[in-house]
Structure 1
Amino acid sequence: MSKAKRVTTSNDVGALATSPNERILRSIHELYERGPGGSNAGSSRGGVGLLDIANDPLLRVKCFKPRKKVNCMIIGNHSAGKSSFINWYIGESVQTTGVAIETRGFTFVTSGRKRETLKGDATFAFYDYLEGVQDMEGLNANIFTEISTSKEKNFSCVDFLDSPGLVDGDMEYPFDVGKVINWLGDHVDLILCFFDPIGQALCKRTMKVIESLNENHADKLAYYMSKADQVEKEHDRQRVLIQITQNLSSRIKNSHAFKLPTVYLPRDDLTVPIPNAIEEVCEDIDRAIRLTVQKNLTSMKEDCTRIGARIEEVIKTNDAHKVDNMKRSMRGITLMIIGWVVMFLSLYIAVKEVCATPVIAHGLRKLLPSAPQLELLLSKEAEVRWLGIKHGGAYALALCLVIYAVITYVKNAVWQLHTLLTKKELAKLQQYQQYITGFMKLREGLYKEYFASLHQSG
């Protein structure tokens, strides 16, 4: 598959896509944000993103843009090697290691075109999903983003989140560290738990955080005993492994499938070989990337299906409103005609009553002395014709006016027409349907590229 051109923007700090997974993740992001054209939304050449369609006032479908990268949070006690692992993975020392105070904040490590450091407000602006936690007291001054130009491993597909080292005792954090970690657990794809065999691997704060994360995110957690090379004797390592396993077994779900591999940064000067599962950590990250690719492709299908169904619903509703408007118009016209008849009857009664008054009758007899119809109109019987009572016409007139008022009210009530879509709006919806069909075809192509990458890696 040939490389497609990707239009970059001023806020795009990511490196150009190189791996299949990275290309797929970025392509999905582009389809949501700018559409197949890659230009600004609403341009004549296309460039309408899936979010633009979903957010159209005609549709208003709730839809979220998938992230371009996998978020991997690393937690553990102080000096567990979290920052050292990140530096090793990306091949660049962006995180300070070995100093207690440096672990008191959260640091995002992401790939970009230029080496840069973002502080609190800039970090919250860069990661829009942090909006729900940015008002937590003390966090703004203790959250950072390190942008690295590294292209090592699959770093271009991963955002690392280095968390504060967890310790017991008098250590005070400027924010509720457990609460923030649990909140972030809802928004990351993978949580690596590092236990230092020499430090405070079994500290209560660490165990409490892990137990809390297990309530809702057991499937995201992976456990490792880090810095295994610092325990020279095998029986000492086994003793620490057993202690950690026993402490965790009662706090985690699926403890029967629990594994705690030993990891350490590769080195050539070891006198005694020690099992090192650091490549397994990398595989956990790669697996999270693959799962995210699958999840984003599935989300794209679901969103396209929901948006397509919503478009059909709006068009069908508009057609039903057309038919209903015709029925309402027919009822309204019928009531309007009946109202006219009643109004004409009221005018006839009013004229007859007026003409029957002595002054008007006398004047009419002088004006038209030989009109037999006039005499019939002005006869004494005319005064009692209406309702069989004298001056019954006045009552009949009042009754007709009341009936006319009721008919007018009912007519206005039933002649309330639905607002119909304009031709331009209908054309837009039909164009949206074509876009959705195009998105689904592009998704099929992305899936083929994903499957092809699996065969290549195999």
Structure 2
Amino acid sequence: MGKDKKREAKNTADTLGMSSTERILKRIHELYEKGLNPGSDGSVGLLSIAADPLLQLKIYKPRKKVNVMLIGNHSAGKSSFINWYIGESVQTTGVAIETRGFTFVTSGRKRDTLKGDATFAFYDHINGLSKFKGISENVFTEISTSKDRNFSCVDLVDSPGLVDGEMEYPFDVTESIVFLADHVDLILCFFDPIGQALCKRTMRTIERLNEHHAEKLAYYMSKADQVEKEHDRQRVLIQITQNLAGRIKNSHAFKLPTIYLPRDDLAVPIPNALEEVCDDIDKAIRLTVQKNLTTMRDDCDAIVAEIANARELNGRRRRDNASATAKGWALMVFGWVVLATLFYVAVLEACATKPVTTALRTHALPALATQPVFRDLVEGLLPDGGRRWFGVEHGGAMAMGVLAVTFLIIQFVKSRVWKLSPTMTKKDAKRLAGYETYVKEVKAVREELYKEYFKQIHDNA
């Protein structure tokens, strides 16, 4: 009991320190993993309910953080932006090509660094990345305690700087980026006007990403402060735009704002859309909250529908089992009749043999002289008592063969017909009813989370 109270107090303290958005994302994640009352007896998550053998429904747990990947040419300022966004220098920056692998930057209670295998274990949804040759030694996770901006709701993915020429990467960098694009919510493309903004490798990668992820891409000309003359900046912007024009699909909504990290020593003010990047991340977070809430509703509806299907299937199986049982009993009775007839014919045939006939005539008939009923019965068993099988030679043996085959056919048909499907026990039915009630309670919590989300929007308006 003491441990439960400590855990509850700790969870309460953690929750109080969260933003509304972070709290909603965390709560959705908990409802999938741990249920309505995490840590208490009887609390079961939506994942466990869906995976119950009675339902066998496949649903996926929404991530409790938004994933944002940064791509661009070497020295485009990706690592510098990450350091600025979280307010902590976790990424190495400089003129040299510092980032040759992928670095996942996430928030946590303790500053730490995870290497390849530990990163794949931490981010189990990107485990497929480990299949790329040479990548395991070039994947890291930096855990920061920063609470700046909305970092607690975001996992940032810093990708290798893209260059042309003799540069060799230890893994297929373009295919790795394309793979990760399936698992992120937003892709920020940075172009360095001084470096290799028009790098062919960067352009090819963007072209590949546009095949399936055009809606996730946002483009920026970074380090705009390094080009102080307006006409030079405009020339670079035009060059980048022209090179992107044939490679992007959402050209009607294309923007290429200029951004740079804040500085006070600029001689001439330069337009800086750095906050637009933050706004794009915030928008991705809001969309993820909406998507997760919608996904939770759909999954709850799917579970309730599957419970109804399970009940319908159970009712149909019970009806089929009742029908199969009735047919089975009918075939069994018919088989008994055929078997009794077979036994009767066998007795007649046995009585028709010479030793039995002699014994009946010599001993049975005289002994039953005073019992007409039984005497007539014994006489009926004798060959000359009227039991001739229609005058067919060996007719009794043939009749026995037909009856035996008929009995075997009846047994075969019965084995096919009298097959019962598994049905729910009372315990199973009770469990499903409990799931249905539980899921309805989860949907009620979802409505409260939506109200909290709308309230946050209203308060921030």
1:37 aligns with 2:34: no
CA distance in 2, matches of 1:7, 1:440: 25
Q: Could you tell me how far apart the structure 1 residues matched to 2:6 and 2:435 are? A: 23
Task: Report the secondary structure of 1:262's partner residue.
Answer: coil
Amino acid at match of 1:376: G
Distance in 2 (CA, whole Å) between partners of 1:257 and 1:316 is 49
Matched, 1:51 2:33: no
User: Which moves more between the two structures, 306-315 or 95-104?
Assistant: 95-104
What is residue 86 of structure 1 aligned with on the other side?
A: 82
Contact 1:76 1:195 (8 Å CA) reproduced: yes
For residue 375 of structure 1, what is the aligned residue in structure 2?
A: 379
Cα distance change of structure 1 residues 302 and 208 upon mapping to structure 2, 3 Å threshold: same
User: What is the rounded CA distance, in whole Å, between the counterparts of 1:153 and 1:139 in structure 2?
Assistant: 31
| DSSP 3-state at the match of 1:100 | coil
Q: Kindly report the root-mean-square deviation, in angstroms, between the aligned alpha carbons of the 2 structures.
A: 1.8
The whole-number CA distance in structure 2 between the counterparts of 1:15 and 1:265 is 32
Indicate conservation of the 8 Å contact 1:6/1:38, yes or no.
Answer: no
Indicate yes or no: 2:275 matched with 1:279: yes
Matched residue, 1:435: 438
- Tell me whether 363-372 or 215-224 shows the greater mean CA deviation: 363-372
Secondary structure at the counterpart of residue 205 of structure 2: helix
Please, which of 312, 316, 333 is the counterpart of residue 316 of structure 1?
312
Deviation at 1:283, TM superposition (A): 0.2
Match of 2:23 in 1: 23
Report the alpha carbon displacement of residue 356 of structure 1 after superposing the two structures with TM: 1.8
List aligned pairs for 1:30-429, cutoff 5 A: 30-39=30-39, 45-368=41-364, 369=366, 370=369, 371-382=375-386, 384=388, 386-429=389-432
* Shift, 1:17, TM fit: 5.6
Does the aligned pair in 1 maintain the 2:357–2:382 contact within 8 Å?
yes
Deviation at 1:323, TM superposition (A): 0.9
Shift of 1:181: 0.5
Take 1:309 and 1:274, find their aligned partners in 2: how far apart are those partners? Answer: 57
Find the aligned partners of 1:65 and 1:376 in 2 and give their Cα distance. Answer: 82
Q: Is the 8 A contact 1:114 1:149 kept in 2?
A: yes
Per the alignment, residue 372 of structure 2 pairs with none
Instruction: Read off the aligned partner of 2:188 and give its amino acid letter.
Output: L
Instruction: Tell me the CA shift for residue 178 of structure 1.
Output: 0.4
The separation in 2 between residues aligned to 1:63 and 1:17, in whole angstroms, is: 30
Q: Render the CA deviation track for 1:195-219: whole Å, top value 9, x for unaligned.
A: 1111111111111111111111111
Partner Cα separation in structure 2 for residue 152 and residue 440 of structure 1? 32
Give the conservation status (yes or no) of the 8 Å contact 1:383–1:390: no
What TM-score, normalized by structure 1, do the two folds share?
A: 0.94
- Shift of residue 250 of structure 1? 1.4
- Tell me how far apart the structure 2 counterparts of residues 408 and 426 of structure 1 sit (CA, whole Å): 34
CA distance, structure 2, for counterparts of residue 199 and residue 375 of structure 1: 120
2:26 maps to a residue whose letter is R
Q: Please say if residues 383 and 393 of structure 1, whose CA atoms lie closer than 8 Å, have aligned partners that are also in contact.
A: no
* Deviation of the 1:454 alpha carbon: 0.5
Against the structure 1 CA distance between its residues 379 and 214, is the aligned structure 2 distance closer, same or farther, given a 3 Å change threshold?
A: closer
Letter in structure 2 aligned against 1:151: K
Checking the alignment, whether the CA contact within 8 Å between 2:381 and 2:387 is kept in structure 1 is: no
Contact 1:223 1:261 in 2 (8 A): yes
Q: Structure 1 pair 119/16, CA: closer, same or farther in 2 (3 Å)?
A: farther
Specify whether residues 394 and 382 from structure 1 end up closer, same or farther in structure 2 by C-alpha distance, changes over 3 A only.
Answer: farther
Deviations along 1:303-350, one digit per CA (max 9) or x if unpaired, are 111111111101110011111111111111111111111111111111
Residue of structure 2 equivalent to 1:451: 454
Which AA in structure 1 matches 2:381?
Answer: L
Q: 1:375 to 1:261 in 2, by over 3 A?
A: same
SS in structure 1 at match of 2:132: coil
Moved more, 241-250 or 361-370: 361-370
TM-fit CA distance, 1:143:
0.6
Gap regions ≥5 residues in structure 2: 370-374
Percent same amino acid among aligned pairs?
Answer: 63
Larger deviation: 116-125 or 389-398?
389-398
Does the 8 Å contact 2:351/2:357 carry over to 1? Answer: yes
Say which is worse superposed, 125-134 or 365-374, in terms of deviation. Answer: 365-374
Whichever residue aligns with residue 220 of structure 2, its letter is: Y
Structure-2 change in CA distance of 1:254 and 1:22 (3 Å): same
- One-letter amino acid matched to 2:203: M
Shift of 1:165: 0.6
> Secondary structure of 1:104's partner?
coil
Contact 1:356 1:383 in 2 (8 A): no
Indicate how the Cα distance of structure 1 residues 7 and 54 shifts in structure 2: closer, same or farther if over 3 A, else same: farther
> How far, CA to CA, are the matches of 1:135 and 1:100 in structure 2?
28
TM-score, reference length from structure 2: 0.93
Does the Cα contact within 8 Å between 2:47 and 2:60 map onto a contact in 1?
Answer: yes
Q: Distance in 1 between matches of 2:6 and 2:247?
A: 46
Q: CA deviation at 1:49?
A: 0.3
- How far apart, in 2, do the equivalents of 1:259 and 1:153 lie? 24
Paired residue total: 445
Matched-pair contact (CA < 8 Å) for 1:17–1:23 = no
Would the alpha carbon gap of residues 141 and 379 (structure 1) be closer, same or farther in structure 2, given more than 3 Å must change?
A: closer
**Distance (Å, rounded) in 1 between the aligned partners of 2:97 and 2:256:** 27
Secondary structure of the residue aligned to 2:156 is strand
